[in-house]
């Protein structure tokens, strides 16, 4: 699952490795409590990565699904052992096996499923 590999890269020591999983014309929308970020290229996403604060953060995926060329995951963002909120993310995967489109919604106010 490409989306799992992407999240693992984003959580790793070198989040720029996530760029290797994106098509050049990658489009994205990331909705956060403080606003949203969107872009229309791998370079736009590199800018998003560069602007993220470096913290001890992991995306703990508790549900996932694949339907054709669309992958979805649901889970919790954990920073330094503390659950910060929940996310629901989806990606369209290109024939080359790279993420072509991505949207993610993060909330600190609601959990769709209980955290194990």
- For residues 104 and 52, which has the higher predicted lDDT (pLDDT)? 104
Residue range 43-59, pLDDT digits in tens: 999 999 998 877 789 99
Pairing of strands 99-107, 70-79: unpaired
Q: How far is CA 31 from the centre of its chain?
A: 11
| pTM (2 d.p.) | 0.92
Pairing of strands 35-39, 70-79: unpaired
Query: Which residues have a Cβ under 8 Å from the Cβ of 22 and sit 6 or more positions away?
Result: 42, 45, 98, 99
Distance CA 105, CA 90 (A): 9
Whole-number percent of the chain with pLDDT over 70:
99
pLDDT at residue 38 in the model: 97
Residue range 17-41, pLDDT digits in tens: 999 999 999 999 999 999 999 999 9
């Amino acid at each position: 699952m490409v989306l799992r590999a992407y999240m693992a890269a984003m959580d790793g020591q070198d989040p720029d490795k996530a760029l290797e999983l994106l098509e050049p014309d990658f489009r994205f929308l990331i909705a956060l409590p403080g606003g949203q970020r969107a872009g229309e290229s791998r370079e736009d996403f590199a800018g998003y990565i560069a602007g993220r604060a470096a913290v001890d953060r992991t995306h703990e995926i508790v549900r996932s699904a694949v339907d054709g060329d669309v992958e979805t995951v649901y889970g919790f963002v954990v920073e330094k052992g503390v659950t910060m909120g929940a996310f629901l993310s989806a990606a369209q995967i290109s024939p080359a096996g790279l993420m072509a489109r991505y949207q993610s919604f993060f909330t600190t106010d609601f959990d769709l499923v209980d955290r194990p």
